[in-house]
Amino acid sequence: MMTTTNENLSKEQKMVIVLLAGPYISQYADIGYKMAKSALNLGYQVKIFLYMDGVHIPQKDQNPRDFPNISQNFAELIKKGCEIKACVRCAAARGYIDESNYLEGVEITSVYDLAEWMDENSKVVMLGS
Answer positive or negative: Cα dihedral of 80, 15, 45, 50: negative
129 class by beta-carbon count within 10 Å (0-12 exposed, 13-18 middle, 19+ buried): exposed
Helices (H), the chain: 6-12, 28-41, 70-79, 88-93, 112-117
Mean pLDDT along residues 73-80: 97
**Angle at the Cα of 101 from the Cα atoms of 41 and 64, rounded to 5 degrees:** 70
Q: Is the pLDDT of residue 8 over 70?
A: no
Mean pLDDT along residues 101-124: 93
Predicted pLDDT of residue 18: 98
Predicted pLDDT of residue 125: 96
**Share of residues in the chain with pLDDT > 90 (%):** 78
Residue 45 pLDDT grade (very low, low, confident, very high; cuts 50, 70, 90): very high
Predicted pLDDT of residue 37: 98
Residue 33 pLDDT grade (very low, low, confident, very high; cuts 50, 70, 90): very high
Mean pLDDT along residues 55-65: 91
pTM of the model: 0.89
Q: How many CA atoms lie within 13 A of 66 on its CB side?
A: 2
Q: Is the pLDDT of residue 107 over 50?
A: yes
